Structure 1
Amino acid sequence: MTTQDDTTTTTPRGSRRKAWSLFGAVAVVVIGIDLAVKEWTTSVIAHGEPVKLLGGLIYVIYARNSGAAFSMFSDFTWVFPIIATVVVTWLLVMLRTTVSVPWVIALALVFGGAVGNLGDRIFRAPKPLHGHVVDMFSFLDDHAGHFPVFNIADSALTVGVALAILLEFTGRRRDGTRAAKGELARSNSFGDGPSGRVGKDTGDA
């Protein structure tokens, strides 16, 4: 006999397929755009002048970053491929129990951003697993004087994490349910499997 908790905690096969399809589509778009912009930057901007966009709000420049997102921890290049691999694996494990469309998008953005920069770490100079990430966007000037230079992958990571935090605080769970009115979003939505406790069912919330 199937109980209410069983129907809540079991992810339907069709929903899993849809989640994987959406995840793959978003991740491929992020990775593709990131790679295309990086290749354009290295082939055009690296040998020319910075490009001014939006009246000078953003400049496209050429920069190489040995650190993490936004040029942090540049002395620990070798650590980042390991961290990125762990993150990518963790996201794929979480996706197995995720059917909520906003959560799938959030996970895909983080995955695409992590893979985009991981590719640079593995394949770009100076050597495998120590590669420097190509960055290109600078706010307000052409030398990153106001904000660390960043790329498409960094942007996807940031948006994905922000979306995940918003979903957590608004009580939207990865299994497609929502926290009951007045109930705080549970911390295991992002780290553990979907909660067995029944909240307001929203389907692909």
Structure 2
Amino acid sequence: MSYPHLVTEAERAIETPDDEDEATEERSAEPPPRGRRRIAVLVGVAALAYALDLVSKLIVVARLEHQEPIDVFGTVLRLEVIRNKGAAFGIGEALTIVLTVIAAVVIVVIARIARKLYSTPWAIALGMLLGGALGNLTDRVFRSPGVFQGAVVDFIAPTHFAVFNLADSAIVCGGILIVVLSFRGLDPDGTLHRD
């Protein structure tokens, strides 16, 4: 005849430390709840940045190309259409294909990071980078003189600075935000780390 094992008060009080350690390890092995992934935020910000860049370039090419520059704030800021085959400051004009490949790689890297993206600030930063990269990539692929040789439309011309567009602005702002988030210790998966 067997008797059910009853746990007495004394047996509960005598739990071994190994049992407690195992329970603690099991609890700590579980990933902390992080909420929902922020892919929708990333896609929304990217779509907005891309749309603003695309629409602004269409308007500028249709209305300002082959026209005199327009002064917006005296001589400090003007709108002037320039076709740029290179990177910032016209550097690397012979490297249009290389710049196209770099933009495509950036897009692939952002897509890979998006799989474990739980941080809203990171989603915004990566969305700006993605939208800007897509905007300039569209120019390089579809604008004249030909596929993968296209010149990017730049039109915002501050005095004594490079002429740029809204895609460039989104890329720079996204990059600055990534640097700030990294210095603050926030990772794309929403966790904080201290170095």
TM-score band w.r.t. shorter chain: 0.7 to 0.9
Task: Give the gaps of 5 or more residues in structure 1.
Answer: 141-145, 185-205
Instruction: Give the TM-score of the pair, scaled to structure 1.
Output: 0.78
Contact 1:70 1:154 in 2 (8 A): no
Q: Select 2:163's aligned residue among 146, 149, 167.
A: 149
Deviation at 1:58, TM superposition (A): 1.5
State percent identity of aligned pairs.
36
- Asked if 1:82 corresponds to 2:101, the answer is yes
SS at match of 1:78: helix
Q: Aligned Cα RMSD in Å?
A: 1.7
Deviation at 1:152, TM superposition (A): 0.5
Contact 1:78 1:129 in 2 (8 A): yes
- 1:24 matched to which residue of 2? 43
**CA deviation map 1:114-137 (0-9, x unaligned):** 000000011000000110000001
**CA deviation map 1:64-99 (0-9, x unaligned):** 000023422112111111111111011010011111
Distance change >3 Å, CA 34–CA 70, structure 1 → 2: farther
Larger Rg: 2
Deviation at 1:148, TM superposition (A): 1.2
Deviation at 1:54, TM superposition (A): 3.1
Alignment of 1:4-83 (within 5 A): 4-8=28-32, 15-16=36-37, 19-83=38-102
- 1:170 matched to which residue of 2? 184
Off by >6 Å, runs of 4+ in structure 1: none
Deviation at 1:57, TM superposition (A): 2.6
Task: Give the gaps of 5 or more residues in structure 2.
Answer: 1-22
